[in-house]
Amino acid sequence: MLLLASAVLVLTGMYFARDFFIPVSLAFFLAAVSFPITNWLREHKVPRFFSVMISVLVVVAFLSGVMVVGFLLVNDLAEGDRLEQYGSKLYEAALSGGAQLEQLKIEGAQEEIKKFLTPEQIGNFFKENITSLLGGVIETLKSSFIVLILLVFMLSEARMFGRRFESIVEAQGPNLQRMLSATKDIQKYLGIKTMISIGTGVLAGLLCWAAKVDFPLLWGIVAFALNYIPAIGSIIAGIPPVILALLTHDIKHAAVIALGYLVINGFLGNFLEPALLGRRFGLSTVIVVVSVLFWGFLWGPVGMLLAVPLTMIFKVALDNSRELRWLGVAISQGKNQSPELERQIIKESTQAQKKKEKAQQDSAQQEADAEAAEDAANALTAAGDQ
């Protein structure tokens, strides 16, 4: 019960302090992706300051280019008359659906649609949501300066973490080597995910361009960004171009787009990505989906973006706890760990528990000795008074 109350308290704090945690998490995400650049430059005798600055400039140039192009495309979509055209076509499709319902002897279907839906309302709905999206992007950019400052310091000290963890162990502190290994795994995950996301965005953009869907570059950027969100991101990215193909062309074009997205995500997401990542991350598919929803509720889109790395860190913490290790097993993918790693986890957990029990015994013995000494002193004082 105390553990549950502590977890609720921690999560509540993370929710209300998200303005602090989100920039730190984003900086960690960018540092993990860009550290290979810094490390490669350092191995080629480039001074640390210039290595970090070059890595940061590469990250800023790439993200700025993507965001500027995406912002201009979305703004062009919102300010032109395309939304009104799409609204009119969607309204006609709704009326056509109402006519089919009337053929099924559902009387007054078209009239009810006309009462609650107009082309102007549909266009305004799209405009309001696009404006809200742009506002959210601008709000996120306000913290970009803090993220960049944190990114510089994280890249500057990234190569020192291993030595610091060894010093902590030498100082009889907790063994954080597995956390270092998990950090390397997260770095590998984010690097491979970035390459897969770029491939997904390029192929999705080319697919939309070949099918003559409006704004193919925009849908490529959307596919790239949402591919970072496991399980559901690629599905969400495919919905707008399919609907747009249905409105501007016909059902055959929409089917081609849907099939193309299924092939792209099926090959890259379900075949190539698992082959590159392997099974070492060990998270159940159900847990991945639940973690996306959970972190999305806690921190919004950034939480969904970082759901897998955050859950991996949480799992490592559970694996290092004897009392909570069963939770780490519960959220794992099954028997995906080698027997040697399992034995190492059990051995380290047992040693940690023995150290904890010995410390408690020593503390209890010291308290008993102190009480005995105090009783003896009181007895001598009482005998002297008599």
Q: For residue 309, what pLDDT is reported?
A: 82
**Would the pTM count as exceeding 0.75?**
no
- First-to-last alpha carbon distance for the chain, in angstroms, is 52
Contact assessment for residue 74 and residue 133, using Cβ atoms and an 8 Å cutoff = yes
Count each helix (H run) and each strand (E run) in the chain, helices first.
18, 0
Sign of CA dihedral 222, 227, 229, 233: positive
Sign of CA dihedral 190, 191, 194, 195: negative
Residue with tokens 């979305």: 74
Q: Which amino acid is at 73?
A: L
Q: What is the DSSP letter of 80?
A: S
* pLDDT tens, the chain, 386 aa long: 676 777 788 888 888 888 888 888 888 888 888 888 888 888 888 888 888 899 889 888 888 887 777 777 777 766 666 777 777 777 777 777 777 777 776 777 667 677 677 777 776 777 777 767 666 666 666 677 888 888 888 888 877 766 666 676 666 665 666 666 677 777 788 888 888 999 999 999 999 999 888 888 888 988 998 888 887 888 888 998 998 888 888 788 889 999 999 999 888 888 888 777 765 556 677 888 888 888 888 888 788 888 888 888 787 777 766 667 777 777 776 554 555 555 555 555 566 556 666 766 777 777 777 777 777 777 667 666 55
Give me the DSSP letters along 303-369. Answer: HHHTHHHHHHHHHHHHHT-TTTHHHHHHTB-SS-S-HHHHHHHHHHHHHHHHHHHHHHHHHHHHHHH
Q: For residue 336, what pLDDT is reported?
A: 47
Mapping DSSP onto H, E and C, the string for 228-293 reads CCCCCHHHHHHHHHHHHHHHHCCHHHHHHHHHHHHHHHHHHHHHHHHHHHCCCCCECHHHHHHHHH
- Which ranges of 171-250 would DSSP assign to H, the alpha helix? 177-210, 216-226, 233-248
Nearest to 86 by CA among 117, 123, 114, 141: 123
Contact assessment for residue 18 and residue 298, using Cβ atoms and an 8 Å cutoff = yes
